[in-house]
């Protein structure tokens, strides 16, 4: 059995007010049986370092020690690697604790004064004794305890291991057991891992950022279309719906900034009614929370990376509505630190490629040399197609096939062609009526082909750079798509999202993809009905709500995903809020007709007028006709 994470957390709270001398220096001297009444040669700095390494270094890869005691400032959780020779030494030689020792200055001669217990007792914080049980829980957190061990046995082991005398026990320690202690809370079957423990302790300053995070929480306060918006994205799919101008794109832009620390477009700006301390963006990446406040002096959002981001996301791809794409790769620094003027910032930066750069490539001259950031779809396609053994052309073709609208034909590469006044070979796509140069393809096809290319290119670049850095590739990708249905035929709108769910299988079977998707299309929401899983997917709706205080305000609500079946039913649901899945004129005519049907004695002239509007705006086989014809003829109007 092992001490539980919950109990370790409780015990650490009890130790925060204790002076570190009692949990470090005192125990080092007791464990090494320092003499009482006489002194011996004792390398106390070296012994304290061994002790700190054994009991206060929960992260074995770090040089820092966890600060269990005097934790008044939660932001100063870690002790310097030099603590044994600086911090502890300073404590030992201070008045109060120094009087407890026999020690000649600048020597390694140490011993206890005969009345050392009384002297140490006088230094206890507010005369409160040290909770022996809680101190033992921290020290023995990794020990394997035999079945049947009780809380009192842990205190006994502490006393034995550190040779605690009866006087010390009575005058320095509280050996009572907490009243609210239960065996099921005290122990667990497995030893706690460092990953579990860091949820309590946090990470040391020298810990490398954890890679492969996804966005688990985003809160915007005093910025954007609402005074406050909160979203907890789903593990797999987050569909964001709502009317134009309510903040779908804004949410995606802020999600991108939270994940990367850079804006893909214009930065968010505080609301006109925001208070000085109000503009704030809070987010969590894989559970690690950051709160960033707007800096009014610099008129900017402070860099997340400058604070030492504890968790960085996996590979990110953002398809923006204007045809540009933003890419962020944790394994690849697109700009050298010197080029970007960031000599002290070694974090990768995202790159936003315009629509033209995605197709034609982007490079830049620096100090006489050309730095190529992306070769572009046209050039890479030809390189991949001409040398498929070395390049991911097979994967690219499979992704295109996945994303193809089955009703319109498979997107399949054809033979390259030359166009007038262009020295390049241009890729083509096969259609039932022949091969079409990709630059002449329809806007919807070009957007999907560009998305397929960017996904394959980004993943291939990530794998290549990871191999160069001797790192394993990420297993998580975050894909943000604004207005997924843009330029797409309804048949394609019905296919695209389910197809994207399957694309990861073509890249790597172990990939986990998180999608944040903004859409206006009922075909997109209807298309995911067979695949929607409440455990990993969520539907969100932005709505304009009338309030007494503000008049109207934007709210983001998590909405239960109801399978409406038909697209018409989705259109008339609370997500898209249409009264009728017809023209506006037809909707008004039907609503007028329904009002008449509820009246006790409708006038025949009004029934006739509405009938004429219905004839004008409704199809001959509209489902409303049988109901209306009976009513109209009953009130003297022949249809």
The per-residue pLDDT of the chain, averaged, comes to 87
Length of the chain: 639
Q: Is residue 369 part of a domain?
A: no
CATH number, domain with residue 523: 3.40.50
DSSP structure string for 406-434: TTT---EE---EE-TT--SEE-EEEETTE
Q: Identify which of 299, 242, 235, 292 has the alpha carbon closest to the alpha carbon of residue 270.
A: 299
CB 275 within 8 A of CB 300: no
Rounded-to-integer distance, Cα 104 and Cα 100, Å: 13
* Residues β-bridged to residue 413: 429
**What's the pLDDT score for residue 323?**
87
CB 259 within 8 A of CB 285: yes
* Judgement on whether residues 53 and 182 belong to the same structural domain of the protein: yes
Query: End of a domain among 533, 567, 601?
Result: 567
**What's the pLDDT score for residue 408?**
64
**What's the pLDDT score for residue 62?**
92
Q: Is residue 136 part of a domain?
A: yes
Name, in order, each residue with C-beta under 8 angstroms of 96's C-beta and a sequence gap of 6 or more. Answer: 119, 122, 123
DSSP structure string for 592-636: HHHHHHTSSS--HHHHHHHHHHHHHHS-TT-TTHHHHHHHHHHTT
Give 577's pLDDT tier (boundaries 50, 70, 90): confident
- Res 548 pLDDT > 70: no
Long-range contacts of 574-579 (CB under 8 A, 24+ apart): 574/541, 575/241, 575/522, 575/525, 575/539, 575/541, 576/241, 576/520, 576/522
Q: Is residue 408 part of a domain?
A: no
CB 165 within 8 A of CB 114: no
- Lowest average pLDDT, out of 272-276, 289-293, 578-582, goes to 578-582
Q: pLDDT tens digit string along 167-186?
A: 999 999 999 988 777 666 89
Q: Is residue 576 part of a domain?
A: no
Q: Is residue 413 part of a domain?
A: no
**What's the pLDDT score for residue 337?**
37
Give 48's pLDDT tier (boundaries 50, 70, 90): very high
- The arithmetic mean of pLDDT across residues 259-288, rounded, is 86
Q: Is residue 561 part of a domain?
A: yes
- Quote the domain boundaries for residue 594: 584-634
Strands 512-518 and 476-482: parallel
- Residue 295, helix vs strand vs coil: strand
Query: End of a domain among 201, 232, 249?
Result: 201
* Judgement on whether residues 589 and 561 belong to the same structural domain of the protein: no
Rounded-to-integer distance, Cα 37 and Cα 465, Å: 64
* Judgement on whether residues 560 and 616 belong to the same structural domain of the protein: no
Q: Is residue 624 part of a domain?
A: yes
* Judgement on whether residues 164 and 76 belong to the same structural domain of the protein: yes
* Tokens at 9, concatenated: 């957390």
- The arithmetic mean of pLDDT across residues 35-46, rounded, is 94
**What's the pLDDT score for residue 344?**
42
Q: pLDDT tens digit string along 138-162?
A: 999 999 999 989 999 999 999 999 9
* Judgement on whether residues 95 and 50 belong to the same structural domain of the protein: yes
Q: pLDDT tens digit string along 91-149?
A: 887 888 999 999 998 899 999 999 999 999 999 988 899 999 999 999 999 999 999 89
* Tokens at 348, concatenated: 């990768």
Give 31's pLDDT tier (boundaries 50, 70, 90): very high
Q: pLDDT tens digit string along 176-229?
A: 988 777 666 899 999 999 989 988 998 888 877 666 778 899 999 989 888 889
Rounded-to-integer distance, Cα 141 and Cα 377, Å: 55
* Judgement on whether residues 73 and 167 belong to the same structural domain of the protein: yes
- The arithmetic mean of pLDDT across residues 284-309, rounded, is 77
Q: Is residue 21 part of a domain?
A: yes
- The arithmetic mean of pLDDT across residues 590-611, rounded, is 88
* Residues β-bridged to residue 478: 316, 514
* Judgement on whether residues 43 and 190 belong to the same structural domain of the protein: yes
To the nearest whole percent, how much of the chain has pLDDT over 70? 93
**What's the pLDDT score for residue 272?**
86
* Judgement on whether residues 341 and 249 belong to the same structural domain of the protein: yes
* Judgement on whether residues 138 and 220 belong to the same structural domain of the protein: no
**What's the pLDDT score for residue 510?**
84
**What's the pLDDT score for residue 549?**
67
**What's the pLDDT score for residue 88?**
75
The residue ranges of DSSP E strands in 321-459, in sequence order, are: 325-328, 351-353, 362-366, 369-374, 412-413, 417-418, 425-426, 428-431, 434-437
**What's the pLDDT score for residue 348?**
46
* Residues β-bridged to residue 543: 555
Q: Identify which of 302, 354, 303, 304 has the alpha carbon closest to the alpha carbon of residue 327.
A: 354
Q: Has this prediction a pTM greater than 0.75?
A: no
Rounded-to-integer distance, Cα 369 and Cα 367, Å: 6
Rounded-to-integer distance, Cα 352 and Cα 245, Å: 23
Q: Which run of H or E residues covers position 194?
A: helix 194-201
- Helix then strand then coil, % of the chain, to nearest 5: 35, 20, 45
- The arithmetic mean of pLDDT across residues 610-634, rounded, is 87
Dihedral-angle region of residue 70 (phi above 0 means left; psi in -120 to 50 means alpha; beta otherwise): left
What is the torsional sign of CA 198, 201, 205, 206?
Answer: negative
Name, in order, each residue with C-beta under 8 angstroms of 246's C-beta and a sequence gap of 6 or more. Answer: 225, 542, 543, 544, 554
**How many structural domains comprise the chain?**
3
Give 335's pLDDT tier (boundaries 50, 70, 90): very low
SS3 track for 235-279: CCEEEEEECCCCCHHHHHHHHHHHHHCCCCCCCCCECCCCCCCCC
Q: pLDDT tens digit string along 355-386?
A: 999 999 998 887 778 888 899 999 999 999 99
Instruction: Please indicate whether residue 262 or residue 438 has the higher confidence score (pLDDT).
Output: 438
* Judgement on whether residues 322 and 469 belong to the same structural domain of the protein: yes
CA 13 to the chain's CA centroid? 28
Give 630's pLDDT tier (boundaries 50, 70, 90): confident
- Res 276 pLDDT > 70: yes
- Res 456 pLDDT > 80: yes
Residue with tokens 């996996």: 314
* Judgement on whether residues 267 and 291 belong to the same structural domain of the protein: yes
Instruction: Please indicate whether residue 78 or residue 212 has the higher confidence score (pLDDT).
Output: 78
- CA distances to 193, 363, 420, 454 from 424, rounded to whole Å, are 56, 17, 10, 20
Rounded-to-integer distance, Cα 302 and Cα 297, Å: 11
* Judgement on whether residues 147 and 264 belong to the same structural domain of the protein: no
Q: pLDDT tens digit string along 465-520?
A: 888 888 888 888 999 999 988 888 888 888 889 888 888 888 888 888 999 999 99
* Tokens at 299, concatenated: 């008129």
Query: End of a domain among 173, 201, 229?
Result: 201
**What's the pLDDT score for residue 579?**
79
- Res 54 pLDDT > 90: yes
Rounded-to-integer distance, Cα 585 and Cα 579, Å: 11
């Amino acid at each position: 059995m092992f001490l539980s994470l919950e109990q370790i957390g409780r015990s650490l709270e009890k130790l925060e007010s204790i002076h570190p001398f009692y949990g470090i220096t005192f125990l080092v001297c007791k464990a090494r049986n320092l003499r009482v009444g006489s002194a011996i040669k004792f390398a106390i700095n070296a012994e304290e370092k061994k002790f700190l390494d054994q009991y206060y270094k929960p992260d074995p890869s770090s040089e820092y020690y966890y600060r269990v005691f005097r934790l008044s400032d939660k932001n100063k959780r870690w002790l310097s690697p030099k603590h044994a020779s600086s911090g502890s030494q300073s404590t030992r030689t201070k008045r109060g604790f120094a009087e407890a020792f026999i020690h000649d200055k600048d020597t390694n001669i140490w011993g206890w004064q005969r009345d050392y217990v009384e002297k140490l007792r006088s230094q206890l914080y507010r005369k409160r004794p040290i909770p022996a049980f809680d101190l033992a829980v921290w020290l023995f957190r990794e020990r394997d305890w035999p079945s049947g061990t009780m809380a009192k046995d842990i205190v006994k082991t502490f006393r034995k291991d550190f040779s605690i005398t009866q006087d010390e026990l009575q005058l320095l320690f509280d050996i009572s057991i907490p009243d609210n202690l239960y065996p099921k809370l005290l122990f667990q079957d497995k030893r706690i891992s460092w990953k579990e423990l860091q949820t309590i302790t946090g990470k040391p300053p020298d810990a490398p950022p954890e890679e492969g995070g996804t966005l688990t929480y985003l809160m915007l306060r005093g910025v954007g279309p609402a005074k406050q918006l909160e979203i907890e994205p789903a593990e797999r799919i987050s569909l964001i719906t709502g009317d134009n101008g309510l903040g779908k794109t804004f949410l995606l832009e802020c999600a991108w900034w939270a994940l990367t620390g850079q804006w893909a477009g214009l930065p968010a700006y505080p609301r006109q009614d925001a208070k000085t301390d109000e503009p704030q963006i809070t987010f969590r990446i894989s559970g690690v929370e950051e709160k960033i406040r707007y800096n009014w002096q610099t008129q900017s959002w402070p860099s997340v990376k400058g604070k030492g981001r504890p968790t960085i996301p996996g590979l990110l791809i953002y398809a923006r509505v204007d045809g540009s794409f933003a890419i962020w790769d944790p394994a690849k620094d697109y700009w050298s630190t010197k080029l970007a003027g960031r000599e002290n910032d070694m974090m990768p930066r995202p790159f936003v490629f315009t629509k033209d750069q995605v197709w034609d490539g982007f490079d830049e001259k620096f100090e006489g040399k050309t730095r190529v950031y992306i070769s572009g779809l046209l050039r890479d396609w030809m390189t991949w197609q001409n040398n498929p053994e070395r390049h991911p052309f097979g994967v690219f073709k499979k992704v295109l096939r996945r994303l193809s609208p089955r009703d319109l034909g498979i997107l399949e590469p054809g033979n390259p062609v030359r166009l007038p006044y262009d020295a390049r070979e241009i890729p083509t796509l096969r259609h039932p009526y022949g091969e079409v140069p990709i630059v002449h393809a329809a806007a919807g096809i070009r957007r999907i082909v560009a998305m397929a290319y960017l996904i394959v290119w980004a993943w291939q670049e990530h794998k290549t750079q990871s191999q160069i850095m001797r790192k394993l590739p990420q297993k998580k990708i975050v894909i943000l798509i604004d207005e997924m249905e843009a330029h797409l035929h309804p048949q394609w709108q019905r296919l695209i999202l389910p197809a994207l769910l399957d694309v990861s299988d073509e890249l790597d079977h172990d990939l986990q993809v998180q999608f944040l998707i903004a859409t206006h299309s009922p075909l997109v929401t209807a298309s995911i009905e067979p695949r929607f899983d409440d455990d990993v997917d969520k539907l969100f709706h932005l709505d304009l709500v009338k309030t007494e205080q503000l008049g109207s305000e934007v709210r983001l609500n998590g909405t239960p995903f109801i399978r409406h079946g038909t697209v018409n039913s989705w259109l008339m649901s609370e997500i898209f809020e249409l009264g009728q899945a017809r023209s506006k004129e037809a909707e008004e005519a039907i609503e007028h007709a329904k009002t008449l049907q509820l009246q006790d004695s409708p006038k025949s002239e009004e029934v006739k007028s509405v009938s004429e509007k219905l004839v004008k705006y409704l199809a001959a086989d509209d489902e409303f006709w049988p109901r209306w014809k009976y009513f109209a003829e009953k009130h003297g109007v022949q249809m």
